[in-house]
Amino acid sequence: MKTKILTFLAAAFLVAGCHKEIKLEVKRMHEMDKNNLVAFTIDRPLFSTTEPAVEESCVVFNDSITKFIDLQKNEVRAQAKEFKMAMDSLGEQMVGPFELIVKDSVYMADEDYISVRLLTYAFTGGAHGMTNFYAFNYNVKTKKFLNNSEILNYNKIPQINDLLKAHLQNPDSCFTDTPTAENFTALNFARHSVDFTYAQYILGPYSCGYTTIAIPSHKMKELMSIDVDAAVKN
């Protein structure tokens, strides 16, 4: 009986040791397109792997990013056409094209999760353009995007808020409002931190810009809804 138990344990350790970590390749895609109406500068990630099942999931994620960026481009293009028509009716000309800039930040990319933040800057007339942020947190195995309530444990809002206030970098005291787990713009997780991004106007005036509060992952371990050991590997 003892021999059978030892054999079973040895086999279990062998199976566990044979698990091969699947790495995702991240290719940066750069696109520039400019005419009299619009100017697009797009930087976005493209994920792939040699593992067929995971590659299929990567395609789902990549397609979602493509659709999102196409939507942003179409909105800016439509506003530019409408503005040009209005200027033409007044006998005026557009000073320059409307602009869209997209920049990416990859926080995590492995066989379990992908966490990406896209920064978009859109100038569609007026005194200045607007910068915004969008988080794409994705479960590779289920091919599902995660909403914030599937990442954070909202039963522990007070503890999260305390960490946000403690880790806010505000040397010039420009930010006058309090960061919370309910007024952030984008949420991402990396190997060593959980990052909360606050866009312009959220914590202070436009001139203060945006800020990202990075909380060490070990401090967030008990405050998250997802499997932190899988999502945030220390």
The residue assigned the tokens 């990630």 is 45
> Is residue 17 in some structural domain?
no
> Is residue 10 in some structural domain?
no
**What is the Cα–Cα distance from 91 to 37, expressed in whole angstroms?**
17
pLDDT above 50: residue 142:
yes
pTM recorded for the entire structure: 0.86
Residues 136 and 43 in one domain: yes
Per-residue tokens: 230: 């899988």
> Is residue 55 in some structural domain?
yes
Q: Which of 97, 98, 105, 95 is CA-nearest to residue 121?
A: 98
**What is the Cα–Cα distance from 8 to 3, expressed in whole angstroms?**
9
Residues 34 and 120 in one domain: yes
> Is residue 8 in some structural domain?
no
Residues 226 and 202 in one domain: yes
> Is residue 60 in some structural domain?
yes
Q: Which residue would you say has higher pLDDT here, 2 or 128?
A: 128
Per-residue tokens: 216: 């060490």
Q: Which of 49, 219, 41 is CA-nearest to residue 118?
A: 41
User: Among 10-24, 36-50, 59-73, 95-109, where is mean pLDDT lowest?
Assistant: 10-24
Residues 134 and 191 in one domain: no
Residues 105 and 216 in one domain: no
Domain ends where: 104, 130, 146?
Answer: 146
Residues 85 and 41 in one domain: yes
Task: Identify any residues that bridge with 122 across adjacent strands, giving them in sequence order.
Answer: 100, 130
> Is residue 174 in some structural domain?
yes
* Sequence-ordered list of residues with C-beta below 8 angstroms from that of 60, at least 6 positions apart, any chain: 143
The answer to whether 125 touches 95, Cβ cutoff 8 Å, is no
Looking only at the bridges linking them, the beta strands covering 98-109 and 38-48 are parallel
Residues 29 and 117 in one domain: yes
Length of the chain: 234
Residues 142 and 50 in one domain: yes
> Is residue 7 in some structural domain?
no
What local confidence, expressed as pLDDT, does residue 230 receive? 54
Task: Work out the pLDDT band at 203, boundaries 50, 70, 90.
Answer: very high
Please compute the mean of the pLDDT values over residues 126-137 and round it to a whole number: 92
Residues 115 and 173 in one domain: no
Domain count, the chain: 2
Q: Which domain holds residue 228?
A: 147-234
Domain ends where: 120, 146, 172?
Answer: 146
Residues 123 and 63 in one domain: yes
Q: Which residue would you say has higher pLDDT here, 204 or 13?
A: 204
Q: Which residue would you say has higher pLDDT here, 18 or 45?
A: 45
Please compute the mean of the pLDDT values over residues 67-89 and round it to a whole number: 95
Using left for φ > 0, alpha for ψ between -120 and 50, and beta otherwise, residue 143 falls in: left
> Is residue 40 in some structural domain?
yes
Q: What is the CATH number of the domain that holds 79?
A: 3.30.565.40
Task: Work out the pLDDT band at 95, boundaries 50, 70, 90.
Answer: confident
